[in-house]
Structure 1
């Protein structure tokens, strides 16, 4: 799913003042350049306004800055940018910013019950300001279709990633194919699943009358056991 959390930075050449210091307005301009690049991925309108840095702040001359979202912040609503000098000095400042991003997110097209597996027609696009919505709202329906709701959603309610779980592909008591792999050797056998499992989850399988093995559920319904 596309996300607003940003973990990478952006290096920018920074002109220094004659007195050997960086103008605070220069810090803001470079932060704006980075932010413009990040917000360009959204087709809807976006805007932002910076808070003020303390005018008494004095920053040593810097040849290049790194800009990124401060830890724990996303690029929507009331946020914070971390601007760090990475060439010429060792300072770092937090720059407050309020961001509005008009984007498409997805809501329930009709009442959806817990345990329902999402399919075409279950989701409807909605326009809104991501700064006014939870950061986990679904922005790409491909990240939701085929998954199962862990809670009911009313018609028009935003669908969020924490509501979704991968579909159960192995049911408790189901006969499954067990692939036992040791090095380059693979042996296949049949067994019975002892618990439900989604793709990638652990599943215990009874093979024969008394042997219990544990493996990983595969998308095709088989269980892979490695030694």
Structure 2
């Protein structure tokens, strides 16, 4: 019986030593990279944009324990804002978990002014450029395609680095000539008019037809152009 107890004890010690030697250890750099990779793989990228991820420092008083199985991660709450808590779990028998705060910055391409621009200035490739900017710092509907914006005018004075938006530009400006396109599924009629108010992309404005004098409502769809769907 004593021999059996000794054999069992030796076996248990041996198995414990195997588990201890096979357990994975993690330093803080490993966890930071693990969390960053997880967030990058599980948070949707904005169109033509990118993510900037800031993982909070792990409390130095926390001792990172070994784990026999690969770590898992998830974001427990439905995240809408920029701050999330990533849950790190060691799923072995002596399970442990950590919650690490992470800030997610959505960086998107934005058209901005290269210099100070006065009200009424015609936008061109010489005075606008594309930069990447934190989405949380952007106000209004930003514009991102220089080909669409070139030829629009500013509705107010803009400082250097100001985002080009629907709110501070007019694609059709009051008093300027406008192409009017009235179309249906079967035909299209083109005419000319004068804009009675400013309009940006997608906005409905009033236009006076030059030939008939009739005032019509059209949607701005390009520089100095409105469309009327019949």
Shorter-normalised TM-score: what interval? 0.3 to 0.5
Higher CA-based Rg: 2
Specify which structure has the bigger relative contact order, considering alpha-carbon pairs within 8 angstroms and separated by 6 or more residues. 1
| TM-score where L is the length of structure 1 | 0.45
| TM-score where L is the length of structure 2 | 0.45
